[in-house]
Chains A and B, each alone.
Chain A
Amino acid sequence: MTDHISEAVSWCLAVVVLVVSVLLTRQRRITAGVRRRNATLEESLRARDEEVRHLVDVRLPAVADGVNLPTPLPGLKDEKLAGTTFAQSLHAVMEQFTRAVDKAQTRADASAKSALKASMRALQGLAHEQQVSISQMQDRHDNPDVLRDLLEIDHANSQFGRRAQAIAVLCGSWPGRQRLASSLTDAVRGSKSRIRDYQRVQVHSLIDVAVVSRAVEPVVLAVAELLDNAARHSQPNTSVEVSLQPVHNGACIVIDDAGVGMDGLEVQRAATLLSGQRAVDVSRLGDPPQFGFAVVGLLAARYGFSVSVDTRSPYGGVRAVLFLPSALLTHIDAGTRGAAGAPEAQQAAPAQPLPSRPTRRRAAPPSPAPGSAPASAGVPAQAGPPAATYTPDPAPATAPPAADEAATSFGVTAGGLPKRRRRQATDTPGPRPVGQPEPDTGSHRVRSAEETAQRMGAFARGTRSGRAAHQENAPHPEDAAPHSEEGNRQA
């Protein structure tokens, strides 16, 4: 009996042990699996944590820093995460951030540029006004001491104007002044006027090509920046040599300095800026800002000339070459010294609508003329009889034939006044010594008897009626008297 019991118990025990061992094994396997899974999850969580930290520490700052630089952005730190939803979300975050940064940058740049542009335009206007008044002072004062001071002020003002203009151009403005087509030599000397060490700049080989009107100011500004660079980066006792060379497709302005030169990296940077391809960020020009090449590049791209600085000068410094294509060149010499009035008229015609300074200045004197002419004509008309001596217009009769011819051949000004010009150098020396001494005076000329009598009659009538008018309307004696006198003197 006890045997049965013990057998049964042992069987039971065996079964229990078996079950327990099976369960234990299973449990152990499950635990191991859970632990492994746990470890994996932990690992992955850590990886994501690290990835997020990487995003915050490295990737987003890289985006913020390198908005305008074409450097590749850093990718995921852990390659295992690639392709997961998490990685995609991170990518979306990056993109949004990049877009936001871009937008903010663009907005900041635009507002900085517009603010700078507006203030520089104002300064440019002031510099220009000042230049006009300095020019007037130079005209007015004939004292060398005053002139010396004025020249200094003028020089400082020109540099000031150039700086303002360069910054304004960099901010997307136009160079600001429309000029007449000017010779290349004048353009280079205009640039020379705008830099500090202008006395060190030597301009050689004058060629007779001219720059078209719309390109004058940009070329002057670009060359001024190049000259300024050249003079600034060379010893004060060296000279900056400028030569002008006609080439097949246009003309070149070659600027050589004897300065320190540029190393490979600088040349590369300069070439990028000079190509004008990349948008210039105003806030990234360094401190102090170096906008010379950036301005030149912008102007070159906008107006179609090209600039290169990648050759070494024979003097050891940099050789800058500004190439002007034929489209930007013209010839003005044909009209300048020739006797023909037609080229002059053609030249003057396009200048009329342009708001250039000389045009305005020249337009100013004729404009009061039409107003004053009727006024002066009205006074003798009101005075009555003196107009009789005045209106026959004896001017053509007394004027020497040369002046007459000059008046007809050179047309009239905008104000209706006859244009007169000095007789050409070639024809003056010929006739004068031969037999007609001084055709200008008119004192010796013989008039016909009728003409003389007519004049005398007019004279007498004029004086008589002048006296009558004087007695009649005593309040205005000064109106009639000077004009009749003037008319008589002309007759």
Chain B
Amino acid sequence: MSPGRRERGLVRPYVVTDGRAYPTRNTFDLVTLVLAHTDRPLSGLSPEKRRVMELCLGGALSVAEVAGYLELPVSVTKVLLGDLVDSGHITTRSPIPPAELPETQLLQEVLDGLRARL
């Protein structure tokens, strides 16, 4: 129920990508972050690409999120993102690595200590 949602079955994916199934670059992952360049003109972009730009202007979004908001398959989204990278509208960044979690043993000790106290 996100705003601006559209009829999903109306515009088919092959029209969105103009029949292409291969992204121009193979650097996208589900968690690749997409950053928009605000200085690029939006004229001449297809409605989906425009929407990508609008979504990403607020900050970095992952490829999976972009696909979710566009309500398009991830593979189709990758084709669009590849075009946008080529035209210089967006840049991509690999995801931030997850923080290292403390060891289980340490947690266990803390738990024991707490139990002893309470």
CB neighbours of B114 from chain A (8 A): 456, 460
CB distance from A370 to the nearest CB of B (A): 17
Is B11 within 8 A of A186, CB to CB? Answer: yes
Task: Tell me if A147 and B75 are in contact (CB < 8 A).
Answer: yes
Provide the residues of chain A in CB contact with B2, threshold 8 Å.
421-422
Chain A interface SS verdict (over half): helix
Q: Tell whether B58 is near chain A: CB-to-CB under 8 Å.
A: yes
Question: A192 near B: Cβ within 8 Å?
Answer: yes
Tell me the minimal C-beta distance from A109 to chain B in angstroms. Answer: 33
Q: By the criterion CB–CB under 8 Å, are B58 and A155 in contact?
A: no
Confirm or deny: B93 has a beta carbon within 8 angstroms of a beta carbon on chain A. no
A148 to B2, CA, bound (A): 28
Question: Are A425 and B57 interface neighbours, CB within 8 A?
Answer: yes
Which residues does chain A contribute within 8 Å of B31, judged by CB atoms?
A: none
Contact A186 B3 (CB under 8 A): no
Alpha-carbon distance A211/B82, docked complex (angstroms): 31
Asked whether B23 lies within 8 Å of A179 as measured between CB atoms, the reply is no
Q: How far is the CB of B104 from chain A (nearest CB, A)?
A: 14
Interface of chain A residues 323 through 349 with chain B (CB within 8 A): 335-338, 344, 348
Task: State whether A193 touches B7 (Cβ < 8 A).
Answer: no
Shortest beta-carbon distance from A361 to chain B in Å: 8
Task: List the B residue with the shortest CB-CB distance to A152.
Answer: B14
Q: Verify B21–A148 contact, CB threshold 8 A.
A: yes
In this assembly, does A176 line the interface, its C-beta being within 8 Å of a C-beta of chain B?
A: no
Q: How far is the CA of A358 from the CA of B7 in the complex (A)?
A: 7
B10, B17, B19, B73: which contacts A187 (Cβ < 8 A)? B10
Q: Determine whether the beta carbon of A141 is less than 8 Å from that of B75.
A: yes
Say which residue of B1, B4, B12, B13 sits within 8 Å of A413 (CB atoms): B1
Contacts of B55 in A (CB 8 A): 425
Asked if A186 and B15 sit within 8 Å, CB to CB, the answer is no
Contact A220 B9, beta carbon cutoff 8 Å: no
Q: Mark A237-260, 1 if CB is under 8 A from B, else 0.
A: 000000000000000000000000
Residue A389 is within 8 A (CB to CB) of chain B in the complex = no
Known contacts A154-B14, A186-B7, A186-B11, A138 near B76 by CB under 8 Å = yes
Q: Nearest CB to that of B69 among chain A residues?
A: A422
Report A153-173 CB contacts with B as 1/0, cut-off 8 Å: 011001000000000000000
The residues of A that contact B23 with a CB separation of less than 8 Å are: 144
A436 interfacial contact with B, CB 8 Å: no
Give B36-89 interface residues, CB cut-off 8 Å to A: 47, 54-55, 57-59, 69, 73-76
**CB-CB < 8 A to B8: which residues of A?**
135, 357-358, 361
Please tell me if A124 contacts chain B, counting CB pairs below 8 Å.
Answer: no
Q: Is A321 an interface residue (CB 8 A)?
A: no
Whether, in the assembled complex, A484 has its beta carbon less than 8 Å from a beta carbon of chain B, the answer is no
Q: Any chain B CB within 8 A of the CB of A37? A: no
- C-alpha gap A361/B5 in the complex (Å): 13
B5 → A minimal CB distance (Å): 7
Given contacts A155-B14, A182-B6, contact A138 B73 (CB under 8 A): yes
In the complex, how many angstroms separate the beta carbon of A458 from the nearest chain B beta carbon? 11
Q: Which of B1, B57, B114, B118 has the most CB of A within 10 A?
A: B1
Alpha-carbon separation in the docked complex, A138 to B9 (Å): 12
Of all chain A residues, which has the CB nearest B18? A199
A236 vs chain B, min Cβ distance (A): 15
Contact A457 B10 (CB under 8 A): no
B99 to chain A, nearest CB (A): 9
A421 touches B9 (CB 8 A): no
- B10 touching A199, Cβ below 8 Å: no
What does the 1/0 interface line of A416-430 toward B look like (CB < 8 Å)? Answer: 000101111110110
Q: Which residues of A contact B13 (CB under 8 A)?
A: 138, 151, 154
Of B7, B115, B118, the residue contacting A179 (CB under 8 A) is: B7
Instruction: Check if A337 sits within 8 Å of B10, measured CB to CB.
Output: no
Q: Which are the 8 A-B pairs with shortest beta-carbon distances?
A: A425-B58, A336-B4, A148-B21, A193-B12, A190-B10, A138-B73, A147-B21, A151-B14
For the complex with contacts A199-B18, A422-B69, A426-B58, 16 further pairs of A-B residues with Cβ separation under 8 Å are A139-B73, A154-B13, A154-B14, A183-B6, A183-B47, A186-B7, A186-B10, A186-B11, A193-B10, A338-B3, A357-B9, A413-B1, A422-B58, A424-B58, A425-B55, A457-B118
> 19 A-B contacts, Cβ less than 8 Å apart?
A135-B73, A138-B76, A144-B22, A148-B22, A151-B13, A151-B19, A152-B14, A155-B14, A185-B47, A186-B6, A186-B7, A189-B10, A190-B10, A192-B15, A198-B15, A358-B9, A413-B1, A424-B58, A426-B58
